[in-house]
Amino acid sequence: MEKASFPKRKTAYKFWIKDVINATLISQEGFHLFEIRGKEASRVNIIAIVVNKQTNEEKTFSTITLDDGTETVRVKTWRDDIKKLEDINIGCPVMVIGKLRLYGGELAIIPEIIKKQEPEWLQVRKQELEKTYGKPEEKEQTMQETGLQEIPKENLKQPQAIIEEEVIGEPTETARQRILGIIERETAPGGAEISKVIQISGLGEEEAEKTIDELLKEGEVFQPRTGFLKVI
């Protein structure tokens, strides 16, 4: 079988969480696209503190809440992807790179990469965003509440070599991510043909069908007509 090729990932932009929460939805065709600070964004790169974590009893759904001092946003995972949150605890500074999605009117991040950070990286990102966008208007006290002190500019580590490498690198894909990516890429006005999605996924037919069935049950995708799929 010919190896499936995947499109280059869209840029994961760096924003304040407040900017993300105030995003304007542009399109839901294929993937969710938002207007944020004049950019068309479907992926973001956030560094923030985990202020809440929840996992259901069945361990099929897990979420963390991030706070960067401007606003909060939830990071949501399902099924195999909840493993990404296993070592992430409340109070942990983390970097999250992922896709933006709307669920019942709530904007959330579906993570591709989650990486623990040293506390000084919160200040590095804070100063980086202030330089780009200016100081945020709300919740300035949050950084102080965490016990962090302002770090002199000359003592800051340089983030570009580490953070940008994560942005352009390709994370390991789960079956779920692979199927969603193909549906997003292949979606025509009538949807992506299920048989074609299975064929180019590189997964076994049984695994691909099981993954699609789970995505349908969870409301991640729907069938606009028999034999075709679209991402919600």
Query: How far is it, in rounded angstroms, from Cα 199 to Cα 201?
Result: 6
Number of domain units in the chain? 2
Q: Is residue 4 part of a domain?
A: no
- Both 188 and 150 in one domain: the answer is no
Direct distance between the N- and C-terminal alpha carbons of the chain, in angstroms, rounded to an integer: 29
Q: Count Cβ atoms below 10 Å from residue 165 Cβ, excluding itself.
A: 9
Does residue 186 sit in the same domain as residue 205?
yes
Looking at the structure, do residues 157 and 203 belong to the same domain, yes or no? no
Domain-embedded: residue 115: yes
- pTM of the full structure: 0.62
| pLDDT value of position 172 | 41
pLDDT at 84 over 70: yes
Rounded to an integer, the average pLDDT of 171-195 is 76
**Quick one: 161 and 207 in the same domain?**
no
**CATH code of the domain covering residue 197:** 1.10.10
More confident residue, 189 or 218: 189
DSSP 9-50: PPPEEE--HHHHHT-EEEE-SSS-EEEETTEEESEEEEEEEE
pLDDT value at position 49? 95
122 and 77 in one domain?
yes
Q: Read off the CATH number of the domain in which 42 is found.
A: 2.40.50.140
- The verdict on 110 and 215 lying in the same domain is no
- 17 pLDDT higher than 90: yes
Task: Look at residue 5 and tell me if it is in a domain.
Answer: no
User: By the 8 A CB rule, do 49 and 67 touch?
Assistant: yes
Q: 32 near 101, Cβ under 8 Å?
A: yes
State whether 139 and 191 are in the same domain: no
19 and 100 in a single domain? The answer is yes
Kindly indicate the confidence band of residue 173, based on its pLDDT and cuts at 50, 70 and 90: low
In the chain, the largest separation of any two C-alpha atoms, in whole Å, equals 61
Amino acid, res. 115: K
CA distance 105 to 181: 22
Q: 195 is in which domain, residue-wise?
A: 175-231
Strands 106-116 and 93-103: antiparallel
pLDDT digits (tens, 9 = 90+) for 43-79: 999 999 999 999 888 888 899 999 999 999 999 998 8
Domain boundary residue among 130, 148, 168?
Answer: 168
Return the H-helix or E-strand segment holding 164: helix 160-168
Please tell me whether residues 163 and 183 are part of one structural domain. no
For 160-171, what is the mean pLDDT? 36
Contacts of 210 (CB under 8 A, 6+ apart): none
The token duo for 7 is 């499109």
Quick one: pLDDT at residue 208?
Answer: 87
- Phi, psi angle pair for 79, to nearest 5°: 50, -125
